[in-house]
Structure 1
Amino acid sequence: MTFEELELDDALCHAVADMGFSQPTSIQSLVIPDALDGRDILASAPTGTGKTAAFLLPACQYLLDHPRREPGATRILILTPTRELAIQVYEQACAITAHTQLVSGVITGGINYGTDKETLSKNLDILVATPGRLLEHIQKETADCRDIECLILDEADRMLDMGFGTVVNQIATEARWRKQNMLFSATLESGGVKTFAREILNDPAVLEASPSRKEKAKIHQWFHHADDLAHKQALLVHILKNNITNAIVFVKTRDRLQALKDYLASQDIQVCWLQGEMPQDKRNAALARFKSGEVPVLLATDVAARGIDVPKVSHVINFDMPRKADVYVHRIGRTGRAGAKGTAIALVEAHDFEMVGRVSRYTEEPLKPRVIDALRPKNKTPKVPPKKKRAKKKTAAKKTAKKK
């Protein structure tokens, strides 16, 4: 199937060709026909499979089919959980609308309110926003949602995890005259996502993509056993100095990030970093330096585990294991995108081995150990703990029978 066969406008097909795409991905092939028919969408797809274009293309086609008759406020509203993801969706919207007269804008927390005012004063067709900042503008009456015709929620599960559920519902109420809704989530199994969907969607098409072999991430995963922090640091330096094009290194706290940043600087390894409560201009600058290849290593806390879309990240390194197995999956999803090969390495101290077992069970893939000869651990590598078996409860009938 081609984009032309999906009955998309020539201007949009021209844009995706400019972006280097010749055929729609599985999630795009599923979503676009139903979305063009005006149906609400409830969809999930693995990271790196073209999800953003799956909602942008039909939204842009709607705008081209129903041109604005007179100046007005935003017609398509896209909400994202993080600032970085909002900027990336905005950039892709600009690329997809490059051969049209459609106008896009973005507002996020951390940006000067004067910049927001300038953005919102435009005759916007598409607005990408983080929920908290947009609600502030609604409450100050500096943003108008009455003209919104389509509401799109990207990474709805992450929005719920970050506590944005109530805010999103308030925004949806402000945009109550909309004609269509689309909700995208990494998983549709969460009870919170199902509740979200019931509150916002109307008889949606439920779509779960099974990516083709070409689209699936090819991520090689293993771990190194570290005796202690010093051993872990030595392993990291060895890995970063040998055959790595670029890498995202995840740590669990801001304090750990700062300490690791200073240590790597002492080892002549240049890094940039992302962490919570960081001014937006500095976050944007750090990402730009990493994306351009100016700096090969990006240190990040989990604020960057979702939504960061950097083409051709060769390695993801878990300097600290996360607290949850699903966070591990989101972290390593920064590599192996759009069918490219990637590598995920975990540096694991003894207290982290329980998480190794959880990750293996969650991903249904074994996380196997490897050893660097020059940095062999002195302590024996613990075995990955097996899944605990739940004891079966005896029913009252069985207990009675046993007594008799």
Structure 2
Amino acid sequence: MTATNFSELDLDERLINALRDKGYERPTAIQAEAIPPAMDGRDVLGSAPTGTGKTAAFLLPALQHLLDFPRKKSGPPRILILTPTRELAMQVAEQARELAAHTSLDIATITGGVAYMNHAEVFSENQDIVVATTGRLLQYIKEENFDCRAVETLILDEADRMLDMGFAQDIETISGETRWRNQTLLFSATLEGDAIRDFAERLLKEPVEIEADPSRRERKKILQWYYRVDDVKHKTALLCHLLKQPETLKSIVFVRKRERVHELVGWLREAGITACYLEGEMVQAKRTEAVKRMVEDRVNVLVATDIAARGLDINDISHVFNFDMPLTADTYLHRIGRTGRAGRKGTAISLVEAHDHLLLGKIGRYLNEPLKARVIDEFRPKTKAPSEKLAGKPSKKVLAKRQEVKKGSKEKVKVKVRQRDAKNVGKRRKPKIEAE
């Protein structure tokens, strides 16, 4: 039976109090399903859309384990959590500190972009939980500054993103270094595709598989539609108009390339809209400052690339704008998941040029529901809507041709003849010696 409130999950009273402080009474679907097997010491392979509480789904059993089995003397970290980005590492660590507020457990982070000396305390003092990005952690492991032998639980957060970013080999190396562990928890936004399955098979032992799929219900909390635009100029003017609407309280605007980030911030500034930005090449201090400005409501518009916004968790994002359409439906889901978090409602708006219509069709098929078009009179596009072919639907002509090919393939199989074979037909080659 699935738990309907946290007290049914046999959690320590100190953790229950911390959850109450945060205003959480009922576990989400992923928490209710993942916490019991994780607390039993089982390996867990979990998937749930972003914004559905999967961070607490792995933090609560980890904290409970540390409280159930306190160590007698200080030592190296017992719980190691790997994340794809620095921002996510900091957010996970912050959430762990909030949940451990009524305990004496110590939580630290190890990420790139931070001076080596700033991590010295992680090596010299007692730490119970360390949240890390793979690159910097591996550097410390190789220099024998980080002791993996005490790690009892290894947790991989947003494993699909880590694979996308090319960290598979790094994670397997860290997995080998923590081979004495008793438990591995792997969480991902999706379990689709062979890559994540093969990866999980190598790292986990007889895992409990949990696919908490409130994705359809979660998506209903996010209103989704698109506007057709003629070109970049038209698109920028429409975006500025939408950002100035009273219902647009706090927004993330997604672009594909970092060059476009700086262009767009400049265009918004010209229209009287202040925006901060995030892109992959930024130094850590600037990235932290940009997120802080959004969190503290000093700025209400953030322009970001996908790589910079991975794992970004800012409360009260009312709107997500796709200034550039994402190349995959999976990235689209990740983007819109920045709004409508923790049960709130949100809005996702895509600005679609003619060449984006194929992507629009792909996203509609993935969601099993096409995105609806909207028009604002003063920003009505001058160009015609693309044909069905461009919208991702095959035209009648193409369908008829496919039908013909299908019929023909049953009757006769066409054999491809190479030119080099055809030109020698009828000529018989003689061995060189014989010819002489």
Q: Which range, TM-score by smaller chain?
A: over 0.9
Question: Which residue matches 1:257?
Answer: 261
Aligned residue identity for 1:347: L
SS in 1 for 2:80: strand
| Aligned counterpart in structure 1 of residue 78 of structure 2, from 50, 66, 75 | 75
| Aligned counterpart in structure 1 of residue 381 of structure 2, from 361, 377, 380 | 377
SS in 1 for 2:109: strand
SS in 2 for 1:343: strand
Q: How does 1:360-375 map to 2 (within 5 A)?
A: 360-375=364-379
- The structural deviation recorded for 1:394 is 6.0
Taking structure 1 as reference, are residues 252 and 85 closer, same or farther at Cα in structure 2, changes over 3 Å only? same
Q: How does 1:1-400 map to 2 (within 5 A)?
A: 1-211=4-214, 218-243=221-246, 244-383=248-387, 385-388=391-394, 391=402, 398-399=410-411
Name the CA distance, whole Å, in 2 between partners of 1:60 and 1:339.
Answer: 24
Deviation per CA, 1:200-233: give whole Å up to 9, x if none. Answer: 1010000111339976651111111111111111
TM-score, normalising length from structure 2?
0.88
Name the CA distance, whole Å, in 1 between partners of 2:241 and 2:365.
Answer: 29
- The structural deviation recorded for 1:11 is 0.3
Deviation per CA, 1:143-167: give whole Å up to 9, x if none. Answer: 1111000000001111111010000
Taking structure 1 as reference, are residues 394 and 367 closer, same or farther at Cα in structure 2, changes over 3 Å only? closer
Name the CA distance, whole Å, in 1 between partners of 2:331 and 2:122.
Answer: 34
SS in 1 for 2:370: coil
Structure 1: tracts of 5 or more residues without a match: none
Question: Which residue matches 2:418?
Answer: none
SS in 1 for 2:213: coil
How many aligned positions are there? 402
Give aligned-pair identity as a percent: 55
Cα contact 1:215–1:338 (8 A) shared by 2: no
Deviation per CA, 1:154-204: give whole Å up to 9, x if none. Answer: 011111110100000000111010000000011112211111111110100
Aligned residue identity for 1:275: E
Aligned residue identity for 1:90: A
Q: CA-atom RMSD, angstroms?
A: 2.1
- The structural deviation recorded for 1:120 is 3.1
- The structural deviation recorded for 1:2 is 1.6
Cα contact 1:217–1:336 (8 A) shared by 2: no
Taking structure 1 as reference, are residues 345 and 108 closer, same or farther at Cα in structure 2, changes over 3 Å only? same
Q: Which moved more, 1:356-365 or 1:381-390?
A: 381-390
Cα contact 2:48–2:215 (8 A) shared by 1: no
Question: Which residue matches 2:425?
Answer: none
Cα contact 2:357–2:392 (8 A) shared by 1: no
Cα contact 2:49–2:215 (8 A) shared by 1: no
Name the CA distance, whole Å, in 2 between partners of 1:66 and 1:144.
Answer: 20
Cα contact 2:63–2:100 (8 A) shared by 1: yes
Aligned residue identity for 1:220: L
Name the CA distance, whole Å, in 2 between partners of 1:15 and 1:217.
Answer: 30
Name the CA distance, whole Å, in 1 between partners of 2:67 and 2:82.
Answer: 21
